[in-house]
Amino acid sequence: MGNYFQPEIECASQEQIRAWQDERLVKQVKHVYDNVQMYRERMDEMGLKPEDIKGREDLSKLPFTTKDDLRDQYPYGLLAMPLEDCVRIQSTSGTTGRRVVAFYTQHDIDLWEECCARAIVAVGGTKEDVVHVSYGYGLFTGGPGLNGGSHKLGSLTLPMSSGNTDRQIQFMTDLGSTILCCTPSYAAYLAESIIERGLRDQIHLKAGIFGAEAWTEEMRHDIEEKLGIKAYDIYGLTEISGPGVSFECEAQTGMHINEDHFIAEVINPITGEVLPDGEKGELVFTSITKEAFPLLRYRTRDICILSHEKCPCGRTHVKMTKPLGRSDDMLIVKGVNVFPSQIETVLLNKGYPANYQIIVTRVNNSDNLEVQVEMTPEMFSDSISEISGKEKELVGALKAMLGIYADVKLVAPKTIARSEGKAVRVIDKRNLYQA
Amino acid sequence: MTVKQISIFVENKIGNLAEVTKVLSDAGVSLHAISLADTKDFGVLRVIVDDSYLAATTLKEQGYIFSITKVLAVAINDEPGGLYRILTLLEESKINLEYLYDINTRKSDYAYLIFKVGNVEEAIEVLTKNKVRLLCQEDL
């Protein structure tokens, strides 16, 4: 038996969880139908009334929500509460550069932070712990989410944000951080840096909560060994709330989804058919308690498997595997969502043909994004400085669009690999997803 | 009073430079001068050839990216101070010299250099006024 933040919820019976879901879904569907035009229109088109949804068994009657819907409804289309009741936004990048903006009421922030607090307690956190949050703060949900969770728990919270490695390590040693929250690649980097500085015996970390990007079991073992900690996974997405939609427990065999707030389904990404436990498919979430930005059957594009098998930790909420892949072409680089279409947009805006290839590598546990662009007669000039100038301009435009640095490499025409006439746009050499 | 330089985009990959020279030699193009400027990931190969038209059509057929630039082939007195004198003339007229490299010709009385200048017309005027000899394409 482990530790729980809210044992009565986290270890509730299947029947109890089901009862909460039934009741909350019915209420949520009505709320959404009354307040969000897009859902009202879709349900009307399908001849579906809110009263037709009597509980979880009717969930599959509801329409899906996609990332494209979020883009089309930007910024206020999916807002289900008056703006004056909202207290916060968080944001993530969208498919064509238009960002996704999610709104939160105080109630929404509270439930999100509660989920994060559950995650911290699940890794052994108590109010005596010093929680070192090195996720980015700001529009990105990583920092604010874990920060809020740690507050809820009553732990001393260090809002470090990312970067400035020397300061990170200094605070870790001087203030005795015990739980580290950041992306796994940053954790690996910090581990390296701590060892390089010979400070391994001066840190007091016992656990880490690492998410926002895919990582392998090898990476987990590497971080655990280097830092002498247990490394736990956490999952979430801005559209649904942020980190803490699901989290790993001491069993480290999948992440418990906070089912009292989010109903998970796994579907066949092509047909939309709901798949049973144990089958691999696209993860879909319905937020049943959120007020401001409640999504019905949101397609995450993450491929995973659900399991209701009894967990030794005592929690009863369904477990999901780490994402095993994506059903779209989104990449997560340095914890940031990158869509090939964003790169295409930049190239076209700058007047280049969209002959490009994205190569993602991970060197020393740090992601590197390279964009290869085929040279054109228009881009070419006898002057090296002129070409380099254009290259730099492209790097700047990509940074503005993606939010991260991409190395631009100009290559000879027709050298970007084409298979069956279709260009291969992405080469991800990181091998992040394990079967 | 100018010669045609062909600048070719070459990706920094083993064998790419050899490949371009093979394409040109297979077409029967002979090189008078060659210079390679390179950066981290690509290079610009600059050549002066006997038959620019043949070279250009061949490169185009083979899918190469290139451009043609007018450059000066300047005769330098093969003695100390020969180059200095010419550079001074350009400097006094505030003509920017972007790069230079040498060229072999059948004429052995002088050393010849290829000059890429900012303002070609002005450079021709300054140099010819000062009795500096410039080669035309036909002289090569």
Residue A125 C-alpha from the chain's centroid: 22
Kindly state whether residues A67 and A89 are assigned to the same domain.
yes
Tell me the H-state helices in A36-105: 37-45, 67-72
Q: What whole-number distance in Å separates Cα of residue A207 and Cα of residue A123?
A: 6
pLDDT tens digits, one per residue of B86-139 = 999 999 999 999 999 998 776 667 888 999 999 999 999 999 999 999 988 888
Give yes or no for B66 touching A (CB within 8 A).
yes
Give percent of chain B above pLDDT 70: 98
Q: How many domains, chain A? A: 2
DSSP 8-class letter at B139? G
- Conformational region of residue A351, where left means phi above 0, alpha means psi within -120 to 50, and beta covers everything else: left
Averages of pLDDT over each 10 residues, chain A, 435 residues: 88 97 98 98 97 97 94 94 97 71 98 98 97 95 97 97 93 97 90 93 97 84 94 96 97 97 95 94 97 97 94 97 84 85 82 83 89 87 89 92 90 70 75 64
User: What pLDDT shows up at residue A340?
Assistant: 82
Q: Which tokens is A172 given?
A: 């870790």
* Whole-angstrom distance, CA of residue B50 vs CA of residue B138: 9
Q: How many CB pairs under 8 A join A and B?
A: 47
Which range of residues forms the domain containing residue A387? 332-428
Exposure string over A364-399, b if 16+ CB within 10 A, otherwise e: ebebbbebbbbbeeebbbbbbeebeebbeebeebbe
* Residue A433 belongs to a domain: no
Q: Which residues contact A69 (CB under 8 A, 6 or more apart)?
A: A38, A78
Kindly determine whether residue B11 and residue A380, on different chains, have CB atoms separated by under 8 Å.
Answer: no
> Closest approach of chain B CAs to the CA of A380, in angstroms?
7
B35 in contact with chain A, both atoms CB, cutoff 8 A: no
Domain limit, last residue, from A266, A296, A327: A327
**Domain match, A229 and A374 both:** no
Clarify whether residues A217 and A284 are in a common domain.
yes
Name the residue of chain A whose CA is nearest to B35's CA.
Answer: A382
Which CATH entry fits the domain spanning B3-69: 3.30.1490.20, 3.40.50.2300, 3.30.2130.10, 3.40.640.10? 3.30.2130.10
Which residues is A373 bridged to in the sheet? A356, A410
The answer to whether B37 contacts A384, with C-beta atoms less than 8 Å apart, is yes
Is residue A319 included in any domain, yes or no?
Answer: yes
Domain boundary among A327, A348, A381: A327
- Which residues on chain A place their C-beta less than 8 Å from a C-beta of chain B? 375-377, 380-384, 387-388, 409-415
Q: Say if A1 falls within a structural domain.
A: no
Q: What residues does B8 pair with on adjacent strands?
A: B45, B66
CB within 8 Å of A72: residues ≥ 6 apart: none
Q: Answer yes or no: do A377 and B5 touch at CB < 8 A.
A: no
The CA distances from residue A2 to A13, A117, A219, A410, in Å, are 17, 14, 25, 54
**What tokens does B68 get?**
């043609």
Same domain for A278 and A302? Answer: yes
Cα A84 to Cα A180: distance, rounded to the nearest angstrom? 35
SS3 A136: coil
Are A346 and A316 within one domain? no
Examine the domain organization and report whether A293 and A337 are in the same domain.
no
A-chain CB neighbours of B116 within 8 Å are 382
Are the Cβ atoms of B41 and A382 closer than 8 angstroms? Answer: no
Tell me the sheet residues that pair with A104. A88
Do residues A69 and A112 share a domain? yes
Residues A71 and A393: their CA atoms lie apart, in Å, by 27
ipTM attached to this prediction: 0.82
The answer to whether A207 touches A234, Cβ cutoff 8 Å, is: no
C-beta atoms of B65 and A381 within 8 A: no
Looking at residue A209, its pLDDT comes to 98
User: What does the domain layout of chain B look like in residue ranges?
Assistant: 3-69, 72-139
Q: Which CATH class is domain B72-139?
A: alpha beta
Residue A125 sits in a domain whose CATH number is 3.40.50.12780
Q: Quick check: B63 and A413 CB within 8 A?
A: yes
Which of 78-97 (B) contact A at CB < 8 A? none
Residue B44 near chain A (CB below 8 Å): yes
Any idea what DSSP says for residue B63?
T
**Looking at residue A1, what is its pLDDT?**
45
| Claim to verify: residue A88 and residue A52 sit in the same structural domain | yes
